[in-house]
Structure 1
């Protein structure tokens, strides 16, 4: 499941990803993310919170990758908050392919993640 929360400034959104993500999750979330990109005063920053995250179904992964490629370079900074070494490693690896600055934070450092996004 993907849940989206919008900040009051409109320049930061929080994506809460939990369980195994499906194509239906992306079909519901992507138009809202694109709308937030349009409404943002500058590049849209994202905080992605991985809560009991189990990955993607293959169709969902494909939808995620094509969305990322379509909008490569259009996002501001991206903070990923999680709780496993595998998630941290995945963020590190994906940072090589992103034009945006991507950083990983533990759940205990979520306030630091939000502060970092507000400063970028």
Structure 2
């Protein structure tokens, strides 16, 4: 299950439990809307409550990232899972977005709204 909200400077996505292909399709619709009206999308993924994901969702994520390689600005990921950390590192191969990992919501939000893209995130 996911929840999605459109904030002023980013799309906030929180995953709860299993991340399925249906959830990812809902994410795609929201992100495409953001891209259509803003040109690029900044994302905040809260994966702290994600328990698992389906293989078809993972395949779709790679496909979507590759086809929208230049449509993302910053992607902040909240996680305490080592596998998600490795996945974020691999995701950088498929997108031109600046991807950073964060231990807490506030530091992720600050990084997303900061116009200085060279600023380092709070250490994890």
The answer to whether TM tops 0.5 is yes
TM range (shorter): 0.7 to 0.9
Per-residue deviation, residues 20-78 of structure 1 (Å, max 9, x unmatched): 211111222311210111122x4211111003213321111122111111101111111
Gaps of 5+ in 1: none
CA–CA separation in structure 1 for the residues paired with 2:33 and 2:66: 17
Q: Which residue of 1 aligns with 2:43?
A: 46
Q: Does 1:111 align with 2:111?
A: no
CA–CA separation in structure 1 for the residues paired with 2:10 and 2:40: 9
Q: Which residue of 2 aligns with 1:16?
A: 14
Q: What TM-score does the superposition give when structure 2 sets the normalisation length?
A: 0.81
CA–CA separation in structure 1 for the residues paired with 2:112 and 2:83: 23
Q: Which residue of 2 aligns with 1:27?
A: 25
Give the conservation status (yes or no) of the 8 Å contact 1:77–1:117.
Answer: yes
Q: What TM-score does the superposition give when structure 1 sets the normalisation length?
A: 0.83
Q: Which shows bigger deviation, 64-73 or 53-62?
A: 53-62
What is the root-mean-square deviation of aligned Cα atoms in Å? 1.7
Q: Higher helix proportion, which one?
A: 1
Gaps of 5+ in 2: 116-124
CA–CA separation in structure 2 for the residues paired with 1:93 and 1:27: 21
